[in-house]
Amino acid sequence: MNRKMVFYTTGQILLLNALLLMLPLVVSFLYADGCWLPFLLTALISAALGGVLQLTCKPVSNDYYAKEGFVITALAWLTLSLVGALPFFLSRQIPSYVDAFFETVSGFTTTGASILTDVEAMSKSLLFWRSFTHWVGGMGILVLLVAVLPTVSGRTIHVLRAEMPGPTMGKLRPRLSDTAKILYLIYVVMTVIEIILLLFGGMPLFDSIVHSFGSAGTGGFGIKADSIAGYSNYCQWVITVFMFLFGVNFNLYFMLLIGRFRPALKSDELRAYVGIALTAMLLISVNIYPMYHNLADTLRLSAFQVSSIMTTTGYSTVNFDAWPDFSRTILIILMFIGASAGSTGGGLKVSRVVLLLRTVRREFQHMLHPRSIGSVKFEGKPVENATLVSVSTYFGLYMAIFALMLLLVSLEPDFDFTSNFSAVAACFNNIGPGLGLVGPALSYTNYSDFSKLVLSFGMLLGRLELYPILFLLNPSTWTKK
């Protein structure tokens, strides 16, 4: 393994992180909240560590392969979370470093799970940093690195594939740096449009920016105790629409930009994504209508929560834990399905679910007609058997890790099964709020440090889709050539 390349790239990430920390530093000065020093110290620490890695780990060769791509991705995200937690800890607004680490991992992985019990007491700059981590983590810190600092190697596809969610990741342009720039351009433009629309609805500028960061990264860190409930119906609809839009595969937006409207709109994954969301909205609306006796409110609340949970954003306009079991069960199912591949959302991804169901259908047909040779098609093309095996393997590994995490978290004596199950599901699928004692009106603060670390580990596993973290922890990754 090209170890020097791994640590050299990690150094680049830390230097980039030092630059990103300048934004909350400016916010601290603008609002005079007294938190400028923690950000300055963290930026200096990040720059110093990055500089040391750059000077001592200059690689002989810039080439790297899939193994290095996975390890670079995992190490970069872990390092970024460890350093990114320092402003919370140094400011003493989160006195426990484990809590600060949990909050930061939740931010970068766009989970939105929080240990804060009084979010409105936090300073503006820390609230900005908290939501900005969503925006950076949504599209991916390494995608950003490739966009602003393209490497010489043509093998950066291994890094992008390790970081971008979904079963496959392809190029939009022959050069990877061009692909990264296109993705971030779409990302920035959509974020700016949402900010403008929220401003039109009377939302303050600061609130519009941080909530757009949360929507774009499908993260869901709010700045008020009631999340989005206190804002106007117009603002709630704007956020609903943009959460849903950021859950769409960004490749489709590129296809729309270059005029390929028909292939984009005929996408199997897009149709499944829209169909699942609309069906869930309809079923929940019927189920909760007796609670509100108002069709407009029912549709708004249902649409918002389905969009929030399915895209794994985690914003809320109502305590959905008080909804009937039927509606809560639908939301739990949506937690696992997640958004589209190539989006900023988490979960299994709609494409994997579609492929799994079509594989099952093919196996049923083969059992009834043993001599038949059926193929699984997706996006109008036959899917290679290797891809189907990969999807099935991922699903099996996903469920095994979920069961292990649930077992470990279940060691907590004061939490019931519903709370533990939804906590693991919400963190592993990068959603945030769960049910029971971790519902939208509560937080994760009462979990032990051990459980918080398990859940933090689960957030990283979920965001990076298992393999990068598992490769990082596998001793053979570091010992074998």
Sequential DSSP letters for 67-101: HHHHHHHHHHHHHHHHHHTHHHHHTTSS--HHHHH
Successive 10-residue mean pLDDT values, the chain, 481 residues: 79 90 94 92 94 82 68 87 94 94 93 89 94 86 62 49 50 58 86 96 94 90 89 96 92 85 87 95 96 93 95 89 92 90 83 87 78 74 81 89 94 88 91 87 89 94 85 74 54
Q: Describe the chain by its helix, strand, coil percentages, rounded to 5.
A: 70, 0, 30
Round to whole Å and give the CA distance between 78 and 104: 10
Under a CB-based contact definition with an 8 Å cutoff, are residues 148 and 78 in contact?
A: no
Q: Which backbone phi and psi does 377 adopt, to 5 degrees?
A: -110, 145
401's torsion region: left (phi>0), alpha (psi -120 to 50) or beta?
A: alpha
Strands (E), 311-452: 377-378, 381-382
Predicted model pTM: 0.90
Phi first, then psi, for residue 285 (nearest 5°) are -60, -45
Q: What is the pLDDT of residue 240?
A: 96
Burial-class residue 270 by CB neighbours within 10 Å (0-12, 13-18, 19+). Answer: middle
Token reading at 385? 């058997």
Structure tokens, 28: 């601290």
State residue 174's pLDDT score: 45
- What pLDDT sits at residue 357? 87
Cα(211)–Cα(128) distance, rounded to whole angstroms? 10
Q: What is the pLDDT of residue 183?
A: 81
pLDDT of residue 284: 96
Asked if 183 and 143 touch (Cβ cutoff 8 Å), the reply is yes
Residue 462, number of CB atoms within 10 A of its CB: 30
Question: Rounded to whole angstroms, how far apart are CA atoms 338 and 314?
Answer: 12
Q: How many residues does the chain have?
A: 481
Tokens standing for 463? 């965001």
pLDDT at position 169 is 45
The full DSSP string for 149-202 is S--S-TTTHHHHHHHS-SS----SSSSHHHHHHHHHHHHHHHHHHHHHHHHHTT
Q: What is the structure's pLDDT at 469? A: 86
